[in-house]
Amino acid sequence: MVKVERSTVIDAPIESVWALLRDFNGHDHWHPAVASSVLEAGRRTDQVGAVRNFRLTGGERLREQLLSMSDRHHRFRYAIVDSDVPLSNYVAEVSLKPVTDGNRTFWSWRSRFNTPPGQEQSLSRLVAEGVYEAGFNAVRERVERPSPRSRPLAAARGHVSSPVRGAIDGSAIVIDRYGDADELREAATSAPPPGPGEVRIRQNAIGVNFIDVYCRTGYFKLLEPPGVPGMEAAGEVIDTGANVHHLARGQRVAYACPPVGAYASVRTMNADLVVPLPDGISDITAAAGLLKGMTAAFLLHTVHPLKAQETALIFAPAGGVGRLLVQWASHIGATVIGATSSEQKARLAKDAGADHVILPGEASLEAQVRELTDGRGADVIYDAVGRDSFAHSVAALAPCGHLVSYGQASGDIGAYDIGSLAAASATLSRPNYGHYTDTPEKVSALTRRLFDVIERGVVRIEAHHRFALREAAEAHRALEGRRTTGSIVLIPEENR
């Protein structure tokens, strides 16, 4: 039996270190030895019994199971259940304790395991240095406060970033003032070398979302003209700046986050919310589905954790987020009712798994919902329409139902008397995408869940509409004109 124990002191409060480590499947975001990781069976990242299936940068595969976790004691234990590396009966424990002097954190990482005769020394060194010491250093660089003490430590550790070259020229779509789709114009751009914590990306596919329209018109002040819109893209890492450990040159990556600027063939940006892509998910799929898929994930699993046997009414079930909600909710076991505007879109909703589809007619939406539910109404309503649908949604809720108003395609709902919610003891949520996707830990948990259901075929990301980057204005017209189903993707022609 081999025993390995290493410890260190991190110059950061225990809450910061624990927030990073307690995500049992987030180690590929900070550990330099881990290339990619997926949580099996749709488990939560802090759920005892969860199994993470991951690949090391050398190609070896491992599966590790979470045995216990204590937020009170800042401690968790895990075991290797399957490995290409000859470590048997491996059990490890990570524990944190506060250091009151300077508000620092003491971190202990210990394990025991069996190895083949003659390999004890080499594997002990691999675990101690290649895993534990490397992990200490990587976490330290993510959470330590900048100070005269921490900067020399980082330098002493000898971190070497990817080779950095001069600015790289490319093309982008710019708006000079708020307005209609005609304001989108092609322009030359350049991506500067990445600084500390940044990554430079050659973008092969760019997602188009309704939030881009809101930015273009000035409804959302995420873009100050002149500027480049867009929040979602996928491509390949050109190079990284210092202190970026979860990405590497040549790696396929994607993101769906502010700041805006995705409508470009090359881009330099903060690396924190950029995620590696699994081999089975293409750039097109990622650009078409990352923002919409993460939205569907937090709507179904956080805002209203949908349960089997509940009835869910989903607006725009043939659209980007709506179609994902239908597929995912059907897989969960809910009864799914779609609400759409045409027979063609109704067929697409049925194909995605909707049990029923409501169309405009003589009967109101709420009357049709109650007819389908024996008068009860919907347990949860995912409403992306806004002003035109809000009152109907409230009227269609079951007792103690939950209205999740997550979009406003028809306009802002305006002032509303919440007294009307009392008729059904209703709950109302208005989730903001940014609040659910603003940290690496949150993004890691959402993308793990999303990539898992994509790779298992639970949801299909469909990019029916593809435009050249220079055709962004036409893509926006198609989106605003409701001439699209599924997702829209822009392709930078120079990166084909």
* Confidence (pLDDT) at 338: 96
Does residue 149 share a domain with residue 20?
A: yes
Domain membership of residue 456 (yes or no) is no
Q: Please, which pLDDT band fits residue 241 given cuts at 50, 70 and 90?
A: very high
* Confidence (pLDDT) at 16: 82
Closest CA to 50 of 73, 69, 33: 69
Domain membership of residue 129 (yes or no) is yes
- Give 275's strand partners: 254
Total number of domains in the chain: 3
- Give 174's strand partners: 185
Which tens digit of pLDDT belongs to each residue from 67-90?
999 988 999 999 999 999 999 999
For residue 253, the Cα-to-chain-centroid distance in whole angstroms is 12
Which tens digit of pLDDT belongs to each residue from 107-157?
999 999 999 999 999 899 999 998 999 999 989 888 875 433 333 323 322
Mean pLDDT of 175-195: 95
Last residue in a domain, options 391, 406, 431: 431
Domain membership of residue 293 (yes or no) is no
For residue 66, the Cα-to-chain-centroid distance in whole angstroms is 22
* Confidence (pLDDT) at 413: 80
CA–CA separation, 138 vs 143, rounded Å? 9
* Confidence (pLDDT) at 269: 97
Domain membership of residue 229 (yes or no) is yes
Q: What are phi and psi of 402, to 5 degrees?
A: -125, 115
Does residue 353 share a domain with residue 329?
A: yes
Q: What percent of the chain has a predicted confidence (pLDDT) above 70?
A: 96
Kindly report whether the global pTM for this prediction surpasses the value 0.85: no
Q: Which of 4-18, 41-55, 263-277 has the lowest mean pLDDT?
A: 41-55
Does residue 262 share a domain with residue 149?
A: no
CA–CA separation, 385 vs 125, rounded Å? 58
CA–CA separation, 326 vs 314, rounded Å? 7
Mean pLDDT of 434-461: 93
Strands (E), 263-324: 266-270, 275-276, 311-315
CATH code of 255's domain = 3.90.180.10
CATH code of 345's domain = 3.40.50.720
Closest CA to 258 of 313, 211, 201, 314: 211
Does residue 173 share a domain with residue 140?
A: no
Does residue 129 share a domain with residue 15?
A: yes
Mean pLDDT of 317-325: 91
441: tokens are 């830990």
What are the distances in angstroms from CA 100 to CA 11, 12, 13, 20, 97?
11, 11, 9, 20, 9
Q: Please, which pLDDT band fits residue 165 given cuts at 50, 70 and 90?
A: low
Q: Please, which pLDDT band fits residue 386 given cuts at 50, 70 and 90?
A: confident
Domain membership of residue 141 (yes or no) is yes
CA–CA separation, 77 vs 450, rounded Å? 26
405: containing domain = 308-431
